A and B are shown apart, each in its own frame.
Chain A
Amino acid sequence: MILVPLFPLLAALIVAIGSDGSRQTRARLAAWPIGAAFCGAVVTLYFVATHGPITIRFYDPASPASIALPIGFHFDRLSAVMMVLISAVGTIIYVYSLSYMYQDPHERRYLSLIGFTTFVLLCMVSSANLVMLFVFWQFLSYLLYVLAHNHAHAATLTGAYRTFTLLRVGDIAFLAGIVLAYSLYGTLEFPTLFAKAIATPVTLSLLPGWEINGATAVTLLLFIGGMSKSAQFPMHIWLPRSLYAPTPVHALLHAGIINAGGFLINRLAPLFGLSSTTLHVAFVVGTMTAILGATMMLAQNDIKKTLGFSTIGQMGYMIMECGLGAFSLAVFHLIAHGLFKATVFLNCGNVIHKARQEPHFPHIDHQEEEGGFSRLTWLTGFMTTLFIPLLILLGTHGVLRIPLLESQGTVIFLFFIWITSSQAILTLMRLRAVASWKVSAAMLLTLLFVVFVYLFAVASFTAFLYPDPQEVASYFQAAALPNWLFDMIILMATLMTIAGWTYLYMRTHGRTVWTPAWVEGFRTRLYVLFMNRLYADELYQLLGDAVMRVVHRFDKRKQGWSQ
């Protein structure tokens, strides 16, 4: 099992070391170790699913002397699932890159970096303790820097530098969390850490009269680390700036690296489950990121940026799920999203290549279809979005036996599914207004089928990842929101969906929806704001400039050395 993370490292070394003459042969040869890592990960998954978790340590956990670099591996269901995902995506991306990067001057560097990144990711998800996880977490920060930049491209260099500095902020918060956890509980070994955190509740006094739970302080700091890697608002700006990297790198970035935040929360689920405050913060941050990411995505005019902001939105969704206590759901989501985004990015690379080679691609000579209004399709969509949530609630409660009454998180999540599916149907209607009951019925059944299969898969996956239902229930309870807030979220979700459908109905009937002039103006300004990505880059630039002005002013005060 230890060989699984080491295989991609071997692949990276095969590509990196050797003469130029054998470069192509070595590049093809290196695909085998990465493929072997995938096979090994599948075997590991089978083994830990049938025999239970395995821990291998190359240090003495009782000795503080080896605390700085305690190399050890912990293979359980979570790490095995992540290893299968990472090695599968890594293998596909590597094989794809062989032809995509063919004859590129940076081919050797990128291929070896893909191998090395896969190695780092595999080691990170199979870490036996928090320090080893942090070691590979930091490696990822640097790898993102080197992956995301082209040496000779000034804008890329600036973007890569900002990416690194921002990720280091998260790293330092992570480090502070580790130090605090060790000082409070005296261990960084996962099982012992969780046991001690549960057994010994600690209260910290930050300021006179302001106390904070120890688990909350630790998890909040660790969460900031997760926010930076998973591009959560307001630490999201590095992701769109990294879009100059080659497309396969993006596929790996969006399918593997960015999931680190979700993985971290799942790895430390028992610790996060002790702090309702952190889970609520995660919910708020995740929701904001999901909404802002999705909105900014709609306003972009560049295919890669659109996909980048789509990823930010999805990561927000994933963190929101964690904030609702649905940890396994977040893992399921990140797997689905990882596979989906890897496919989309690799295809995106093909499209860009094709567009560069063929002057008439994409074809612009065909007329856009006029969207006519179909009452039947509209009615189907409307009824679907009204009744599907009810069916889902009944189905999940009765068939899948998910305790909805006790878990607000699931209900909120279902309402988000509702909004998302409504958005999908709205988009579908705008594209194809076919007045056919067959189409409508197919749409309805497909949606029902997809949603139920998804929920069934999620329920099965939850049972696989967290076999103890009590544990799952405890996370939901820890994440429970105040009743008024819960009711408000449900009410707002309902209103948004119905308002959306009503607006669509009126627009397609050619009726004017009266809105005050200031609302129209505000809408335009809002569009410009989101198109410019909330001017977050500019704000960070201003902040950086202000800091450097202060630094230089400070430097000038002391005459001599710098003069």
Chain B
Amino acid sequence: MMDGSIVPWLVTGIPLLGALLCLAVWSNPGRLKASAVLVSIVSLGANVGLSGSLPTLPEGLLLLYLLPIAAGVSLLGQPLHRDHRPSWIMTVVFLGLGLGVLTNPNLAGRIFLLALFGSLIVLLYRHHTALWPISWWGIGTYGFGALCVGISVVASPPLSAITTLLACAILLPLMPFHNGYLTALTRLPGSLPTFIVLLLPAVGLHGVATVIPTVPETVAWIVGLSALAGSLYGAIKALAQSRVRLLLAYGSLSFFSMLWWFITATKTATVHVVVFVGAVGLVTSGLLLAWQVIRTRYGDDVDPQAISGLAFTMPRYAVLLSLLALAAMGLPPFGVYAGFMGLLLTSSLSSSVGVFVLLIAWLTASWYIMQMVQQLLFGARRSDLRYTDLLRTELAALLIVVLVLLALGVAPPKLFGPQKTAPSSSATVESTAWNT
């Protein structure tokens, strides 16, 4: 029988060690990519195999399974190119750091979190250009996040709880601390954006689930208000975007803000919260991967309106993108829908205005996602473009994402973690006040 204290280090160590081993095949991009994917698979196997010996996590074990899957598909969906090698290695490193934060309690977890923030700052600085001055805001935000983590280590409650919450608001993006998330998603190269779109919110949720019961009521109220504003802000900004990565970044900001509102309303991280975070992260990752397919073929900053008629010419791509779009719009039977419905129905929601705002943001997602998909898939076929349907690795990556999203939607939630109960939502009273 393995010692329980070693298991988190083992789970963390496998990807980090794997990243080191991958360096041995640095000169061969094909083997490097295959090795990185293999490390993700081994990590997933280890997480599943060692799940019984891991410490109890407040959010359950689902995210431990989803992170290696997300890392694997992010790597799998990338084109073979020498320039992408650093991003592949860093994806595996980030996987290790993320698992380290999730599985190691107390100080070790904080150190891994500081390492994660530090890596992000370095990467953003390295990919900073004068044409994109706004990325300084992202670097600053992550610097602030690292500072918050540092303070939370030395400070006593309630300051430690509030600083932890601030660090979480940077990871699981919450307005006005969302600049880091937007920068990371739009500026980082290769497979990194498609992985960190799940990694950062997962790590953030872990922190929130730990700290939210101790947060003062006033702070929770302010966070709830900010979450409502953020969900509308994200939706409106997404509606205005013509660039796909920005659209997806703002769209996911809107969805994660919804989650913040539910968490502050119930002060618990139920299994539906975890399903929602996992599903939103994964579907955004899938859509970024799908966009990566277009970028690989037609250039880095191609206008989606310039590409049309893919439903005819790339049928496999069209089917998978349509399914991902359905999931992203919150249609059944995918995980985003299951998570949202679970949150809506099992949380004690006292504000009708809050529910109304969330539903508006939810509705808006149908517009901007559908608009994006329609621009790409439908319309007249362009005779001046060369069309190549999905390659095997791209197909596998997108298919895995769709299947996992489907599993998150249809599998019984008890499979994903212990059943925590949010305060009951039923009310059978003579008079109910439903105003804010």
Contact = CB atoms under 8 A, between A and B. Distances in A.
A67 B337 CA distance: 11
Interface in A122-180: 131, 135, 138-139, 142, 145, 149, 151-152, 154, 157, 161, 164-165, 168-169, 172, 175-176, 178-179
Contacts of B240: 548, 551-552, 554-555, 562
B431 A203 contact: yes
A205 B434 contact: yes
Given A68-B345, A69-B333, A164-B370, A561 B134 contact: yes
Interface in A532-557: 548, 551-552, 554-555
B427 A183 contact: yes
Contacts of B352: 206
Nearest to A188: B345
Nearest to B363: A172
B271 to A, nearest CB: 7
Interface stretch (A75-83, A194-202, A375-383, A399-407): A194-202
A206 B435 CA distance: 5
Interface string B355-368: 11001101100110
Nearest to A142: B331
Contacts of A152: 309, 312, 378-381
Interface in A446-469: none
B5 interface: no
Contacts of B137: 560
A214 B344 contact: no
A25 interface: no
A179 B326 contact: no
Contacts of B435: 205-208
Contacts of A100: none
A202 B425 CA distance: 15
B412 A204 contact: no
B239 interface: yes
Nearest to A550: B236
B429 A151 contact: no
B270 to A, nearest CB: 9
Contacts of B432: 184, 202-205, 214
B301 interface: no
A234 interface: no
A203 B367 contact: no
B374 A561 contact: no
Which of A183, A187, A207 is the most central at the interface, judged by chain B CB atoms within 10 Å of its CB? A183
B339 A68 contact: yes
Given A135-B332, A152-B381, A555-B236, A183 B359 contact: no
Interface residues of A, number: 54
A188 B344 CA distance: 13
A560 to B, nearest CB: 4
B27 interface: no
B366 A165 contact: yes
Interface in B414-436: 414, 419, 421, 424-435
A63 to B, nearest CB: 8
Contacts of A203: 430-432
Contacts of B339: 68
Interface string B79-90: 000000000000
Interface string A429-444: 0000000000000000
A55 interface: no
A183 B236 contact: no
Contact of B345 (A161, A182, A208, A561): A182
A66 interface: yes
B395 interface: no
Given A65-B414, A68-B338, A182-B426, A157 B355 contact: no
Contacts of B237: 554-555, 558, 561-562
Contacts of B366: 164-165, 168
B359 A151 contact: no
Contacts of A186: 424-428
A151 B309 contact: yes
Contacts of A516: none
A183 B338 contact: no
Contacts of B133: 560
Nearest to B349: A183
B378 A149 contact: yes
A521 interface: no
A185 interface: yes
Contact of B433 (A139, A205, A561): A205
A64 interface: yes
A179 B356 CA distance: 11
Nearest to B237: A555
A215 to B, nearest CB: 13
A497 B379 CA distance: 50
B102 to A, nearest CB: 23
Contact of B332 (A139, A176, A187, A555): A139
B405 to A, nearest CB: 13
Interface string B225-262: 00000000000110111010010000000000000000
B311 interface: yes
Contact of A161 (B312, B374, B410, B424): B374
A151 B379 contact: yes
A204 B410 contact: no
Contact of A151 (B271, B345, B378, B434): B378
Nearest to A202: B432
User: Looking at A186, A551, A552, which has the most chain B CB atoms within 10 Å of its CB?
Assistant: A551
A185 B236 CA distance: 34
Interface in B293-343: 309, 311-312, 326, 331-333, 337-339, 341-342
Contacts of B421: 64
B51 interface: no
A12 to B, nearest CB: 14
Given A139-B332, A179-B355, A551-B239, A202 B427 contact: yes
B227 to A, nearest CB: 17
A64 B338 CA distance: 12
A164 B325 CA distance: 13
Name the residue in B346, B377, B380, B426 with the highest tally of chain A Cβ atoms < 10 Å from its Cβ: B426
Contact of A202 (B359, B379, B430): B430
Nearest to A66: B412
Contact of B363 (A66, A135, A168): A168
Contacts of B409: 68-69
Nearest to B137: A560
A227 B133 CA distance: 49
A69 B345 CA distance: 12
Interface in A100-140: 131, 135, 138-139
B232 to A, nearest CB: 10
A494 B424 CA distance: 55
Contacts of B425: 182-183, 186
A435 B271 CA distance: 78
Nearest to B331: A138
10 contacts: A68-B338, A68-B409, A69-B341, A151-B377, A152-B309, A175-B362, A202-B430, A548-B239, A555-B241, A562-B241
Listed from nearest, the 10 A-B pairs whose CB atoms lie closest are A186-B426, A555-B240, A560-B134, A68-B338, A68-B341, A168-B366, A135-B332, A68-B342, A200-B428, A172-B363
Given A139-B331, A206-B434, 6 more contacts: A65-B413, A68-B413, A149-B378, A188-B345, A204-B434, A562-B246
Interface of A: 64-69, 131, 135, 138-139, 142, 145, 149, 151-152, 154, 157, 161, 164-165, 168-169, 172, 175-176, 178-179, 182-188, 196, 200-208, 214, 548, 551-552, 554-555, 558, 560-562
